[in-house]
Structure 1
Amino acid sequence: MSSNTIKIGILGIGGIGGFVGAPLAKKYKDSTTQIIFICRGATKNAIQKDGLIFESKGIKETIFPDLVSDNPTEIGILDVLIVTSKSYSVSEILNTYKDCISTETIIITLQNVVNAREIVRETLPELGQIMEGCIYVASNVKKPGQVQHVGGPGKIFVGGEKENKWLIDLLTAGGLDITYVSDINQILWKKYLFVAPVAAITSAYKVTFGQLLEDKDLMHILENMMIEIQSLASKNNINLTKEDIETSKDLLTKFPFESKSSLQLDFENNNQTEKTFLVDYVIENCTKNEIQTPFYKSVNDRIISQSKH
């Protein structure tokens, strides 16, 4: 670690980046821990000018980190990089900021995928110590530089070869609910069991979480999509139980009725989407493992036919 200063970069200040970055930047203002928001375009301009406007539980705060930048030279070598961008941008972004990453830099991934390590290593074969992670939260961008925490507890789980207890302690003291687990893969798959099928089905049928819960036929399809993921997980030596499936279905009740998946929002707003990671990944890897995916395929067909209209 460089001198006495610890430099933590938050890469991508969207819904998740804002949720993670806001408490850290607030807590560590004017301390030996430097919080850097790495973002570009309208988001960078808005935060540089007016700070990050963060709303949670009815409270609105304006937060200025130590630095807001998209310039690798200005950012310098980071001790920690928390990657909160969408899955489809991870490779490109890591490539852009590889000069900020040393062999010692701890990279925390918070994407909704089960193969984050592979994605990072394709771009950075040698650099960084990877801690794969996941976060349970619904947090959205209202407009560039304005983030609203909508629901979900904001619990973060991370795992990796090294526990890096100092870092977990630092992030906890900074206001994050973060836990190190020795078997992160089990947790990544449990989250994926919820996120991937829910994202796919809400996008295909254009329903909110509440509408999905009330529709018996859709819940039947959802459960069968989860069973297809369960089969894929077992090929990866991850045992997802019937109870895990029930827990995942029950998780829908923990969100407001009108909640939508981020995949669905991206389709609605004609943004680039994470379909490759949440839908195609399942179908392709099941096919490789000779697992039938009739439910995933029918939902995928429906998404494809809709995006053509």
Structure 2
Amino acid sequence: MKLLILGAGGIGGLFGGRLAQTGADVTFLVREKRKAQLASDGLRIESQFGNACLPVQARLQSEIEPRYDLVLLTCKAYDLPSAVQAIRPAMSPTTAVLPLLNGIAHIETLNAEFGKQRVMGGTARVQVTLTPDGLIKQLNDWQTVTFGEQDGSTSDRAATLKALLDKTVVEAKLSGNIMRELWLKLVHLSTVAGMTCLMRGNLGEIIRTPEGSDLLIKFFEANAEIAARAGHRPDDKFVNTYRDLFQQRDSRYEASMLRDLEKGGQIESEQILGFMLRQCRAAGLPDALHLAAYTHAKTFEQRRDAGRLPRPQA
């Protein structure tokens, strides 16, 4: 299987690097600066699962040909339009796309662009960042990728990718109901992103306030009900896992959206918080918490775009 990974940032660099370590045929589609960085320093990973520094194949868009079996999309959801344009030269009539993006709306966009039969669904559960000097730094002790075909079938391409990932330290799960998996991740992500951004703190900092845990659970249960109204009711094990998480006073877990916000960067406000607000209203459920989280994020974007964010102190 010939794999093309869009970008060599956090998630793409980590998963692609682990595949490259096993000898898989992996190419990274990158910009000129990242290509030069990879040529000079190699792909560098710092992780409790093992550090790595390895040479990898990196290409610019102008150097890409339609010879790949699978394209892995690991961009931010707000970059989807430019990502679609970037991978067009790689797309043969049989090339599949596996997006590991946050949210759900991107699936319909990719279906319209490339055809539903060529689009898989997937989620990544990992905390990782790309430092300014090009180091891929893992921030947690779990790394799971879950993927599958939209129709629930077990295709040859899915089985082949699973076999490749099984040779790495990454936990790979093949799902027979990937759309449900996407909804469950969105329930979790929209809760954590909405609350950690709104409160400007990690879960533990929120939970240690007088009623922070109750607020987290209330927002989580509202998101779980939205998923249920969409036909994907979370099971008891899933619900109890997150109820327990939202009572862990020493938790340092925070959404990547909070880190992006605190850096004054782009955030997935529409793809996560805006999407869930619209779904909440479509389901006829109370929307006060969703409206607060979404409006907070959009207000931040107003200040960011106007150049009115406070400058970091030296």
Determine if the TM-score, normalized by the shorter chain, exceeds 0.5. yes
Closer, same or farther in 2 for the Cα pair 1:221/1:256, shift >3 Å?
closer
* Conserved? CA contact 1:104–1:128, under 8 Å: no
For 1:180 and 1:255, locate their aligned partners in 2 and report how far apart those are by CA, in whole Å.
33
Identify which of 202, 209, 228 aligns with 2:203: 209
Q: Which residue of 2 aligns with 1:3?
A: none
Matches of residues 243-282 of structure 1 in structure 2 within 5 Å?
Answer: 243-251=237-245, 257-282=251-276
- RMSD across aligned positions (CA): 2.5
Superposed CA offset, 1:208-256 (max 9, x none): 2321332342222222222222222122211124553331243468998
Amino acid at match of 1:201: M
Count how many residue pairs are aligned between Structure 1 and Structure 2.
298
For 1:251 and 1:19, locate their aligned partners in 2 and report how far apart those are by CA, in whole Å.
26
- Tell me how far 1:170 sits from its aligned partner: 2.2
Q: Percent identity?
A: 19
Closer, same or farther in 2 for the Cα pair 1:144/1:132, shift >3 Å?
farther
Q: Secondary structure at the match of 1:151?
A: coil
Q: Secondary structure at the match of 1:35?
A: strand
Matches of residues 67-78 of structure 1 in structure 2 within 5 Å?
Answer: 67-78=57-68
Structure 2 unaligned blocks of 5 or more: 304-308, 310-314
Q: Which residue of 1 aligns with 2:34?
A: 43
Identify which of 212, 219, 229 aligns with 1:225: 219
Amino acid at match of 1:178: A
Q: Which residue of 2 aligns with 1:27?
A: 22
Structure 1 unaligned blocks of 5 or more: 1-5
Amino acid at match of 1:246: N
For 1:243 and 1:75, locate their aligned partners in 2 and report how far apart those are by CA, in whole Å.
45
Q: Which residue of 1 aligns with 2:110?
A: 120
> Quick check: which one's strand share is greater?
1
1:109 matches 2:89: no
For 1:144 and 1:77, locate their aligned partners in 2 and report how far apart those are by CA, in whole Å.
31
For 1:256 and 1:146, locate their aligned partners in 2 and report how far apart those are by CA, in whole Å.
28
Q: Which residue of 2 aligns with 1:9?
A: 4
Matches of residues 129-168 of structure 1 in structure 2 within 5 Å?
Answer: 129-160=118-149, 161=151, 162-163=153-154, 164=156, 165-168=159-162
* Conserved? CA contact 2:216–2:246, under 8 Å: no
1:89 matches 2:83: no
- Tell me how far 1:145 sits from its aligned partner: 2.3
Q: Which moved more, 1:51-60 or 1:248-257?
A: 248-257
Closer, same or farther in 2 for the Cα pair 1:254/1:89, shift >3 Å?
farther
Amino acid at match of 1:157: T
Amino acid at match of 1:24: L
Closer, same or farther in 2 for the Cα pair 1:74/1:115, shift >3 Å?
closer
For 2:204 and 2:123, locate their aligned partners in 1 and report how far apart those are by CA, in whole Å.
24
Closer, same or farther in 2 for the Cα pair 1:302/1:295, shift >3 Å?
same
Q: Which residue of 1 aligns with 2:51?
A: 60
Closer, same or farther in 2 for the Cα pair 1:179/1:291, shift >3 Å?
same
